[in-house]
Structure 1
Amino acid sequence: MSIKEKPRFPNPRFFGQLLIFLGGLLLLSNIVLSTFFAPRIQRVAYSLFISQVEDGKVLQVLLGENEIRYQIKDEEGKPGRILATTPIFDLELPKRLEAKGVIFGAPPPAQNPWVGTLLSWVIPPLILVLVWQYFLNRNSEPQGALSINKSKAKVYVQDDAKKITFNDVAGVDEAKAELAEIVEFLKNPQRYNEIGARIPKGVLLVGPPGTGKTLLAKAVAGEAGVPFFSISGSEFVELFVGTGAARVRDLFEQAKQKAPCIIFIDELDAIGKSRASGNFYSGGNDEREQTLNQLLTEMDGFAAGDATVIVLAATNRPEALDRALRRPGRFDRQVLVDRPDLAGREEILRIYAQKVKVEPEVDLHAIATITPGFGGADLANLVNEAALLAARYHRSAVTQADFAEAIERVIAGLEKKSRVLGDKEKKIVAYHEVGHAIVGAAMPGVAKVSKISIVPRGMSALGYTLQLPTEDRFLMAEGEIRSEIATLLGGRAAEEIVFATVTTGAGNDLQRATDLAQQMVTTYGMSKVLGLVAYDTTSGKSFLDGQMNSRRLISEQTALAIDEEVKQIIESAHEQALMILERNRDIMETIAQQILAKEVIEGEELQNLLKQVQPLPAISEET
């Protein structure tokens, strides 16, 4: 699909300012240069002038009212320097000059000063104003400062060579099925009109970042074959109040002229935030509120009209949108574009793998199996990283090893081989990572450990234990969460057992373990002490990471009980990790010595070692 944009003329305001600047610079140069760079004439006393005339050294003279300029002879009698002097009342001067054979006369009459003023100060600015007006009026549409109210939407037009269709989008079959009805209506509206059905005016695509919302919108335009206006929500908002509303009106006016068509608004939450959530205040946010009100009116109001204009919008913050914007009649449908499942990931990998050279033995199903939680953008980046690695090693095609390394780069970061650890630190990191692996192998419900490495990666990881799940999981039991917490604390427990001290290397592990324990108590009701009560007010609808959990109003006693329960869960998991590592001290030493020698252990060698890990008797009986 190609982008057809209106021809953009150079900004006339910029050209006008540039021409005025150049004109002013030219006028200033006329004055300054003529003053500073004109040839300087030496002034002498009148008596010296008379003396030179008497000595026959003067060749010619111009007698002016305010100045006398004369040229003297050089040693060979040829024309020499030009000098000047101030005249005095001397009636004998012409006779002296004539007696000495000096050529003399009066200077030419001075030009009219008004003519010079007109040529220097009036004509150039007049020319600049005329040129500026030409640029302002060269197009019938407002330009420059007057174009602030015009819509900045881009119009996508069909191009068979680059057209995006539903075949280019994978992993979101349910979303494609919802949008296929929109496409069918745009192609054959009679079938729906005859039965009295009304196509949705607006479709809201919601989901995490990188799952293909914008790509789906382009695919709808490619399938429907209608004009497609694309604009971002932030492009409506400007400094001046009322500009966004004017741009919304202009956008819908253009769309109605080309109906049936589609308007796609990306990042709708930039202008559609709820007016009841405290997001709007006086001042600059009045512009956002006016823009939102105009959008509400255009979608379902007296100004909506009967033209077939369907609005597609995308956001990853549906919980922040205004209720009036989400109601039926405006955005009738909310289509979830979620992260793909196993089959969807494999299909996405197949689409992007067609764009690079891949060896036939590459198993895309195996790659899809170990990448749960990856979105479409993540998988596209994964394929590209694998291709970059293959090119770096001068391979003609991407191999399975390239994909494995690319997964590690995406998850853990780039290898920092230049970050050399000392022998003591390397030993601490080795036992720390082996502690994670052994506890993970002993605890039930924990993802399979596939690799242990003490090669630094990313910004702060001095080593890592790679756990890759074998299936997609959507639910976790209480015991599985406790096992995950114990695995996170396995590195800290190994340091305590081997070195009888602890380091800062477990900082991130403690943070993640504490977060899990707090969610067990405050969100999932997995505490017998606090009961089946949700103590945080997180709605759970946000698709963005890093959302802060806010607790509802609780008493001091309840807050203390929550903290004590979280602490008890952490300490219990820590004790389990210590007991598992004490029970498997020999195998921990064996794996640690091997990883210190090789730096990386993976594959069948690692699995054979972890099979020797013995779980705690109590845990094995419960499982």
Structure 2
Amino acid sequence: MFNFRFKNSTILWVSIIVAVITIYMSVSEMGLRTNKISFSEFMTRLENGNIREVSIQGNSIEAKDQNLNTFITSAPYFYPKVIDKLLEHSVKVEILPIENPIQSVLGMIASWFPVLLFIGVWIYFIKNIQGGGKAMSFGKSKARLVMDGGKVTFNDVAGIDEARDELEELVAFLKEPIKFQRLGGKIPRGCLLIGTPGTGKTLLAKAIAGEADVKFFSISGSDFVEMFVGVGASRVRDMFEQAKKNCPCIIFIDEIDAVGRHRGIGMGGGNDEREQTLNQLLVEMDGFDANDGIIIIAATNRPDVLDPALLRPGRFDRQIIVPLPDINGREQILHVHMKKVPLAKDVNINLIARGTPGFTGADLANLVNEASLLAARLNNKTVDMATFEAAKDKVMMGPERRSIIMSVEEQKLTAYHEGGHAIVALHMPHSDPIHKATIIPRGRALGMVIRLPEDDRYSITREKLHSDLAVAMGGRAAEELIFGKENVTTGASGDIKSATQIAKRMVTQWGLSDAVGPVLMGEEREDIYLGQGNVNASSHLSEKTCQLIDSEVKSLVEEGYNTAKRIIQENIDQLHSLAKALLENETLNQDQIMEIIGMQERKKPIRNNDISIDTKSIKKIKENSRKVKKRSVPTTNDNETV
């Protein structure tokens, strides 16, 4: 059908062009015919002195009389005296060369080219206006229709079970909408996925479409906004029109914060293009019924900047946090990505999961890929545990910089610096266990000590923070004790920055300073999915308060430095042994470090308020919590939740 219409349209326009050219040439020829005279009449006018000038080309003569009227005639080749006659009567004569047929055709094309170009451009715009071509498609939606959405299911999503459970209801509605409509239920129109980059928000949206076997439209928030006013709003309208024609379906808007930011805070007030696009999106989300079978899923890692109108009930009813995976989630994600990787028998997936805290699903996929590439470079048939460890070091610390040539003194200083971190970490009961210490330059660092928590941690105690401050300052303390205060280097700049940030959050954000108290100092922009944010302490605070904050921050960092210095002084022999071993081996793991310094086991934190709970009690607590969830939550008269 499309080819038939296209051919008919092409033939029609070609016919129109040929007809216009034919008519034009016919009119021109008729005009020429009206001015054509016989040769005898030409000679008579010449004898009467009525010829002013002529142009001769072959046997064709174009002449002008005294009144500048133009007429043409043809002279026979056997009349050679025509030139003499013209000169005899003082007629201006111009002899033109005989035209080459090819040149004549080219000349005709050149003369007709502007006309043809104009006609072609006119036809092109007419077709685009009627058929919606690219020239007039500024307002068309850039949403891509993914037809093979069924290839991704919940089996491909791992490590985020809570978020997946929340979204299974959407799948049930798309599969059996009558089941919900019969009881008067309305499925949420929109669902907002909130999480750090790489946690699997896009994958979750595709899995919903795959499980429900519906069409999946994908678009980025930045695709709506253009420099032309009104284009974004037009694209929003077109996107919803397409969705209504293909329902049931899912519209996925990635990075919605690009178009959904608070209104009235940008340039141009409420009239700029982005805000008009947001207004149209809000109107369209109210313009379709909840039972139309259209579900909008949006993703963002900046929920704090979204306009409140987007988050109200009736638009994005549900806000689902897609968190970083815990140790069990990381193990499940590794299983998914290792399906196509030939693994050696010594690979311990649980150990890899324990050694990658804070990794997102994308980070774990990158880890598996790096291990596969490294094994391929080594011509190995399988990927073993050593390869995974090397890949993990590369991902966490950066690639090795073997090209850096360090002097003996600098290597020695680096060894004592990293040894200081390790000694303090081993003797601080609340510090995380050491995973590895190295003096091989990686990334921007000349060496580093990597600590990994034993379990996933969701809150941090004051003791743990003080331990981290001491460990961070252990490198500078070791440099000063071994080489003297005048010979300390700039190698501790990253440690000082880290310690200062910890101390500043303790004072301004976490209320862990006795002098300041449990007060939020400054304006905080909080990331919901991380539970932490940045505080601008100088926004509306008095000079005296800022001075108090600076004093407390300095006091906490100095306290950590003094603690690190004391620990290193008490264990100076262990520092010498560890630094010597690092110079010889460059990299040491936890067991090797413990053996070198002569420690049988790491010091454990002493807790006086430990409460022991047996297994039966734990099961009973869990059962009671499930029962409480099923009940409605009563409230008191002063609106406090019981």
Give the TM bin, normalised by the shorter chain.
0.7 to 0.9
Q: What is the CA–CA distance in structure 1 between the aligned matches of 2:149 and 2:540, rounded to whole Å?
A: 57
Q: Does 1:371 align with 2:359?
A: no
> How far is 1:158 from its partner?
3.1
**Residues 272 and 321 of structure 1 are in contact (CA less than 8 Å); yes or no, is this contact kept in structure 2?**
yes
Deviations 1:106-138 (A, max 9, x none): 8777799xx989824442233334444565566
Q: In the alignment, what sits opposite 2:272? A: 286
Q: In the alignment, what sits opposite 1:86? A: none
Q: In the alignment, what sits opposite 1:166? A: 154
SS state of the match for residue 494, structure 1?
helix
> How far is 1:475 from its partner?
1.4
Q: In the alignment, what sits opposite 1:549? A: 535
The aligned amino acid for 1:119 is M
Q: Does 1:191 align with 2:175?
A: no
Deviations 1:63-105 (A, max 9, x none): x9899xxxxxxxxxxxxxxxxxxxxxx979x9xxxxxxxxxxx
Provide closer, same or farther for how the CA distance between residues 181 and 305 of structure 1 changes in structure 2, counting only shifts above 3 A.
closer
Provide closer, same or farther for how the CA distance between residues 130 and 306 of structure 1 changes in structure 2, counting only shifts above 3 A.
farther
SS state of the match for residue 345, structure 1?
helix
Provide closer, same or farther for how the CA distance between residues 356 and 116 of structure 1 changes in structure 2, counting only shifts above 3 A.
closer
Q: What is the CA–CA distance in structure 2 between the aligned matches of 1:109 and 1:597, rounded to whole Å?
A: 96
Q: Does 1:210 align with 2:176?
A: no
* Matched positions, count: 519
Q: In the alignment, what sits opposite 2:366? A: 381
> How far is 1:614 from its partner?
11
Q: In the alignment, what sits opposite 2:583? A: 596
Q: How does 1:407-426 map to 2 (within 5 A)?
A: 407-426=392-411
**Residues 186 and 290 of structure 2 are in contact (CA less than 8 Å); yes or no, is this contact kept in structure 1?**
no
**Residues 263 and 312 of structure 1 are in contact (CA less than 8 Å); yes or no, is this contact kept in structure 2?**
yes
The aligned amino acid for 2:432 is A
Q: In the alignment, what sits opposite 1:249? A: 237
**Residues 426 and 433 of structure 2 are in contact (CA less than 8 Å); yes or no, is this contact kept in structure 1?**
yes
The aligned amino acid for 1:269 is D
Provide closer, same or farther for how the CA distance between residues 495 and 242 of structure 1 changes in structure 2, counting only shifts above 3 A.
same
Q: In the alignment, what sits opposite 1:150? A: 140
Provide closer, same or farther for how the CA distance between residues 590 and 249 of structure 1 changes in structure 2, counting only shifts above 3 A.
same
Provide closer, same or farther for how the CA distance between residues 474 and 107 of structure 1 changes in structure 2, counting only shifts above 3 A.
closer
Normalising by structure 2, what TM-score?
0.75
Q: In the alignment, what sits opposite 1:226? A: 214
Deviations 1:377-425 (A, max 9, x none): 0100011011111111111111111111111111110000011111111
Range moving further from structure 2, 383-392 or 342-351? 383-392
> How far is 1:360 from its partner?
2.8
**Residues 168 and 351 of structure 1 are in contact (CA less than 8 Å); yes or no, is this contact kept in structure 2?**
yes
Pick from 213, 237, 250 the counterpart of residue 262 of structure 1.
250
Q: In the alignment, what sits opposite 2:526? A: 540
Deviations 1:475-505 (A, max 9, x none): 1111110010000000000000010031000
The aligned amino acid for 2:489 is T
Provide closer, same or farther for how the CA distance between residues 553 and 524 of structure 1 changes in structure 2, counting only shifts above 3 A.
same
User: Alpha carbon RMSD of aligned pairs, Å?
Assistant: 3.1
Q: In the alignment, what sits opposite 1:570? A: 557
Q: In the alignment, what sits opposite 2:283? A: 297
Q: Does 1:504 align with 2:503?
A: no
> How far is 1:141 from its partner?
2.9
Deviations 1:421-468 (A, max 9, x none): 11111111000000000000011211111221111001x210111212
Q: In the alignment, what sits opposite 1:474? A: 458
Pick from 456, 463, 470 the counterpart of residue 447 of structure 2.
463
**Residues 166 and 216 of structure 1 are in contact (CA less than 8 Å); yes or no, is this contact kept in structure 2?**
yes
Q: What is the CA–CA distance in structure 2 between the aligned matches of 1:545 and 1:189, rounded to whole Å?
A: 37
**Residues 486 and 577 of structure 1 are in contact (CA less than 8 Å); yes or no, is this contact kept in structure 2?**
yes
**Unaligned stretches of 5+ residues in structure 2:** 1-5, 7-53, 58-82, 88-94, 610-642
Provide closer, same or farther for how the CA distance between residues 621 and 384 of structure 1 changes in structure 2, counting only shifts above 3 A.
closer
Provide closer, same or farther for how the CA distance between residues 611 and 170 of structure 1 changes in structure 2, counting only shifts above 3 A.
farther
Q: In the alignment, what sits opposite 1:141? A: 131
Deviations 1:227-263 (A, max 9, x none): 1111111011111010000000000011111111111
Provide closer, same or farther for how the CA distance between residues 116 and 518 of structure 1 changes in structure 2, counting only shifts above 3 A.
same
Deviations 1:207-246 (A, max 9, x none): 1111000011111111111111111110111110100000
> How far is 1:532 from its partner?
1.8
> How far is 1:306 from its partner?
6.0
The aligned amino acid for 1:593 is K
Deviations 1:486-536 (A, max 9, x none): 000000000000100310000000000011011111111111111221113
Q: In the alignment, what sits opposite 1:521? A: 507
SS state of the match for residue 471, structure 1?
coil
Q: In the alignment, what sits opposite 1:102? A: none
SS state of the match for residue 151, structure 1?
coil
**Residues 321 and 529 of structure 2 are in contact (CA less than 8 Å); yes or no, is this contact kept in structure 1?**
no
Q: What is the CA–CA distance in structure 1 between the aligned matches of 2:358 and 2:84, rounded to whole Å?
A: 109
> How far is 1:180 from its partner?
0.8
Q: What is the CA–CA distance in structure 2 between the aligned matches of 1:108 and 1:556, rounded to whole Å?
A: 95
Pick from 128, 143, 147 the counterpart of residue 117 of structure 2.
128
Q: What is the CA–CA distance in structure 2 between the aligned matches of 1:190 and 1:152, rounded to whole Å?
A: 32
Provide closer, same or farther for how the CA distance between residues 433 and 589 of structure 1 changes in structure 2, counting only shifts above 3 A.
same
Pick from 435, 439, 460 the counterpart of residue 454 of structure 1.
439
Deviations 1:573-620 (A, max 9, x none): 11111111111111111111111122122242222234539999xx98
Q: In the alignment, what sits opposite 2:624? A: none
Q: What is the CA–CA distance in structure 1 between the aligned matches of 2:412 and 2:401, rounded to whole Å?
A: 18
Provide closer, same or farther for how the CA distance between residues 611 and 343 of structure 1 changes in structure 2, counting only shifts above 3 A.
farther
> How far is 1:562 from its partner?
1.1
> How far is 1:174 from its partner?
1.0
Q: What is the CA–CA distance in structure 1 between the aligned matches of 2:600 and 2:495, rounded to whole Å?
A: 22
**Residues 236 and 244 of structure 1 are in contact (CA less than 8 Å); yes or no, is this contact kept in structure 2?**
yes
Q: In the alignment, what sits opposite 1:17? A: none
Provide closer, same or farther for how the CA distance between residues 188 and 502 of structure 1 changes in structure 2, counting only shifts above 3 A.
same
**Unaligned stretches of 5+ residues in structure 1:** 1-8, 10-63, 68-89, 95-105
Q: What is the CA–CA distance in structure 1 between the aligned matches of 2:421 and 2:399, rounded to whole Å?
A: 21
Provide closer, same or farther for how the CA distance between residues 610 and 339 of structure 1 changes in structure 2, counting only shifts above 3 A.
farther
Q: What is the CA–CA distance in structure 2 between the aligned matches of 1:223 and 1:198, rounded to whole Å?
A: 20
Provide closer, same or farther for how the CA distance between residues 408 and 108 of structure 1 changes in structure 2, counting only shifts above 3 A.
closer
Q: What is the CA–CA distance in structure 2 between the aligned matches of 1:480 and 1:196, rounded to whole Å?
A: 52
**Residues 187 and 291 of structure 2 are in contact (CA less than 8 Å); yes or no, is this contact kept in structure 1?**
no
Provide closer, same or farther for how the CA distance between residues 226 and 212 of structure 1 changes in structure 2, counting only shifts above 3 A.
same
Identity of aligned residues (%): 45
